Chain A
Amino acid sequence: MRLLLAVLSQQRSEWRHGYDLLKDTGLSSGTLYPLLMRMSDNGLVQAEWREPAQPGRPPRHVYRLTANGFALAMELTSGDAALSGKEMLT
């Protein structure tokens, strides 16, 4: 989930397709979709339907972080940074 949060938080306001997220995170669809479902259930991710770019194709789902999701992503990132800072000191 950290990886997905990190990828989504890089371009917070941008809507992303599931397949693009798959390529950016390197996760399989079997991992990505259950994560997106849970995150959407918990209000961390919002999803919308978008008309397809190519005619004849079905509408596609797009995703982006909610305010709560972005806050969690920042919290985890700062936690990681603090941890790596401690590691550097020791």
Chain B
Amino acid sequence: MRMSLSQAIMAIATACMGEDRQTWSQAMKAEYHAAAAEGQGLSFAAGCLIAAWREMLGSATGRFVLTSYAVALGIMVPMATIEIGCAVLGFPYLYPDQHGLPGALLVGGSHEALLRPTYLGAIPAMAFIQLMAGAGHLRLAWSLLERDWSSALRWSLWTLAGMTTLVIFMGVFFLDSRQALMQGCVVGIELAILLVIMRRHAELHRFALTEHPG
């Protein structure tokens, strides 16, 4: 148990070391075997993890990787969870006051009897768009961490298009689209963040080429 824990920590530590420190991560990994043979594997691995994190915070590339993970895990994955949850669990957050679809449909209002069949027909399409936007968010987060910029940009634009469609769709049906609009704004902000991250990555790449040409 202790051995596998220390090996797992060591694997995280070596993965956290930047590309420019690969030699050092291999050196730490090799030394880990000597430490483990003397029963010091866990403390050694924990120290290596701290060293890797310190290196990450100290280097521009490391900070870039941390920022990418923070955006993916702190914004994109929660947004995907909300959107997929809205679609699968019956839109509990999509509509104002968290009263779900009846709240948005103004159940009991004078227009309810006239519009209800149309609304019910539109729900599957809205749920589908919402589900696709959530799935798009997950794919966007993955592409961001993979640094596949063309894919990330494509998925970000698709997600934005999906949310825009949803807002327009809800507007056409006279549904209160404030929550959907808010989600659309977050998607727009994500796109702006993605563009900044892409620019930063290009700068870092240029800097690396200047430092180590060829």
- In the complex, what residue of chain A is closest to B33 when comparing beta carbons? A57
> Which residues from A are CB-within-8-Å of B28?
18, 29, 33
The residues in A between 1 and 52 inclusive whose CB is less than 8 angstroms from any CB of B are: 17-19, 22, 28-34, 36-37, 47, 52
- In the complex, what residue of chain B is closest to A33 when comparing beta carbons? B51
Are A61 and B47 in contact, with the CB atoms below 8 A? Answer: no
> Which residues from B are CB-within-8-Å of A52?
30
Are B47 and A28 in contact, with the CB atoms below 8 A? Answer: yes
A36: shortest Cβ distance to chain B, in Å?
8
Asked if B176 is an interface residue, CB under 8 A from chain A, the answer is no
> Which residues from B are CB-within-8-Å of A30?
46-51, 54
Are A61 and B46 in contact, with the CB atoms below 8 A? Answer: no
The residues in B between 15 and 57 inclusive whose CB is less than 8 angstroms from any CB of A are: 21, 23-24, 26-31, 33-35, 43-51, 54-55
Are A37 and B24 in contact, with the CB atoms below 8 A? Answer: yes
Are A29 and B30 in contact, with the CB atoms below 8 A? Answer: no
- In the complex, what residue of chain B is closest to A35 when comparing beta carbons? B51
State in angstroms the CA–CA spacing of A19 and B39 once bound together. 12
Are A29 and B55 in contact, with the CB atoms below 8 A? Answer: no
State in angstroms the CA–CA spacing of A31 and B29 once bound together. 16
Are B34 and A19 in contact, with the CB atoms below 8 A? Answer: yes
- In the complex, what residue of chain B is closest to A47 when comparing beta carbons? B27
> Which residues from A are CB-within-8-Å of B31?
17-19, 29, 60-61
How many residues on chain B are close to A (CB under 8 Å)? 24
B55: shortest Cβ distance to chain A, in Å?
7
State in angstroms the CA–CA spacing of A59 and B28 once bound together. 11
A46: shortest Cβ distance to chain B, in Å?
13
- In the complex, what residue of chain A is closest to B47 when comparing beta carbons? A29
State in angstroms the CA–CA spacing of A58 and B34 once bound together. 10
Q: Check A57/B30 contact, CB under 8 A, given A19-B35, A30-B54, A37-B21.
A: yes
Q: Which of A22, A34, A61 contacts B54 (CB 8 A)?
A: A34
Are A31 and B47 in contact, with the CB atoms below 8 A? Answer: yes
Q: Check A60/B30 contact, CB under 8 A, given A28-B43, A30-B46.
A: yes
Are A34 and B47 in contact, with the CB atoms below 8 A? Answer: no
State in angstroms the CA–CA spacing of A46 and B7 once bound together. 28
Are A58 and B29 in contact, with the CB atoms below 8 A? Answer: yes
Are B55 and A37 in contact, with the CB atoms below 8 A? Answer: yes
